[in-house]
A = this chain, B = another copy of it.
């Protein structure tokens, strides 16, 4: 299960915008430096977010980007979907599009369960939550078990 560089960069850029919500537009270059993301790559990501209606752009001096809605109303899942398509995909398809036969028949409900558990995190957390370092309680609890931080 891989989260793409594009998704990671997009969320980080969105968080920078969330943190500066009331300070006017932020330049690509400023986000790129703050988060260590390749400048031109970030530019195309912000463009995707603009086309997806997540951010608003402003050209010219004092231009840049700002969120199109309050950070409290945008979830991390919203950002990932705009730049990467479906939140969870198997072989490039969404789980409901898959068909399995024989002993693999119950693989479909398994992927559905995985997706439900991923949604339970990413669709419940907003940009404001992350930017304020204040995750919802039931999610914060998942990070408190030491084994959550270790690789198997």
Contact = CB atoms under 8 A, between A and B. Distances in A.
Given A2-B89, A89-B1, A105-B133, A110 B148 contact: no
A88 B1 CA distance: 5
Interface stretch (A11-19, A48-56, A62-70): A11-19
Tally of this chain's copies: 2
Nearest to A105: B133
A148 B114 CA distance: 10
Interface of A: 1-5, 8, 11-12, 15-16, 18-19, 34-36, 76, 80-81, 86-92, 94, 96, 100-107, 109-118, 120-122, 125, 129-131, 133-135, 139-140, 142-143, 145, 148-152
Given A2-B4, A112-B149, 15 more contacts: A1-B87, A3-B111, A5-B91, A8-B90, A12-B104, A15-B102, A15-B107, A106-B131, A106-B135, A107-B130, A112-B142, A113-B140, A113-B148, A116-B143, A118-B118
